[in-house]
Amino acid sequence: MKELTNRIKTNGRVLGEGVLKVDEFITHQVDPELMEQTGKRFAEVFKDQGITKVVTIESSGIAPAVYAAQALGVPMIFARKSKSLTMDEELLTASVYSFTKQVSSTISISRKFLSAQDRVLLIDDFLANGQAAKGLIELCQQAGAEVAGIGILIEKSFQDGRKLLEDMAVPVVSLARIASLHEGKVSFLEEDA
Ligand code: G4P
Ligand code: NA
Ligand code: NA
């Protein structure tokens, strides 16, 4: 998606260790217009898939996910990383290992929000090693829901996430695909949409 790759070129910053900082428009300060454009693009791509819910994980997946859900006319659910005080219902839970932080954490969604009747579109801001997406897929599987596809804003194609998800037979659509982050420079692959 040209608007997103252009914005990464203008406002993204390469940190060491293969990390792209996008806090000007996604992960801290949020550009609602750009997020709405990405949500609409995901909705366009998945409009014929019978999507009934959009699912993401807090916090940076929420903005694009809510716009995708609005464009598809369905609810958005975000998995929580810590247990909410008022979460007294039965939970779907999965363990997510972060290679970056080298710790596992538990993510959860209330069981009442996902069922075997649902066809889910997963959305996230980054695809790196794919562990967060894998955890979201596990939550959907526990509910008997079908994952119809995954929409990603920024895929770091030099990491293993995309292969992991494709091996699980889930279609992945990334709006920006990064081949490398060498020497402070962002190199792109052809994007999916
Ligand atoms: P994985 O899910 O693909 O395995 O990712 P990993 O554990 O490596 O990533 C942990 C966190 O870092 C995730 O956010 C992920 O979105 C984010 N991340 C991964 N690569 C980059 C990057 O190059 N740049 C930026 N800015 N973030 C990256 P989180 O901390 O779990 O969530 P959030 O609350 O920030 O959304
Ligand atoms: Na995220
Ligand atoms: Na993030």
Which residue, judged by its Cα, is nearest atom 6 of ligand 1?
A: 98
156 assigned binding-site residue = yes
What does the alpha-carbon distance between residue 155 and residue 36 come to, in Å, rounded to a whole number? 19
Kindly state if the Cβ of 20 falls inside 6 Å of ligand 1: yes
Among the atoms of ligand 1, which is closest to the Cα of residue 124? 16
* Minimum-distance ligand 1 atom for the alpha carbon of 130: 3
Ligand 1 atom closest to the Cα of residue 128 is: 3
Three-state SS string over 107-142 comes to: EEEEHHHCCCCCEEEEEEEEECCCHHHHHHHHHHHH
Quick check: CB of 180 below 6 Å from ligand 1?
Answer: no
pLDDT tens string, the chain, 193 residues long: the values are: 999 999 999 999 999 879 999 999 999 999 999 999 999 999 999 999 999 999 999 999 999 999 999 999 999 999 999 876 676 779 999 999 998 889 999 999 999 999 999 999 999 999 999 999 999 999 999 999 999 999 999 999 999 999 999 999 999 999 999 999 999 999 999 999 9
- Cα–Cα dist 113/156, whole Å: 30
Rounded to 10°, the helix 62-72/32-46 angle is 50
Q: Percent helix, strand, coil in the chain (nearest 5)?
A: 30, 35, 35
Q: Are strands 53-57 and 91-98 parallel, antiparallel or unpaired?
A: unpaired
d(CA 52, CA 119): 5
Interface confidence (ipTM) of the complex: 0.91
**Dihedral (CA of 148, 137, 134, 59) sign:** positive
Dihedrals phi, psi of 120, to nearest 5 degrees: -110, 135
**CA pair distance 125, 187, nearest whole angstrom:** 18
What does the alpha-carbon distance between residue 78 and residue 84 come to, in Å, rounded to a whole number?
A: 12
The answer to whether the predicted template modeling score (pTM) of the entire model surpasses 0.90 is: yes
**Does the beta carbon of 104 lie inside 6 Å of ligand 1?**
no
Q: For residues 178 and 189, give the distance between their C-alpha atoms in angstroms, rounded to a whole number.
A: 6
Q: Which ligand is nearest to the CA of 100?
A: 1
Torsion of CA 132, 136, 141, 146, to 10 degrees: -120
User: Which domains are seen in the chain, by residue range?
Assistant: 2-189 (3.40.50.2020)
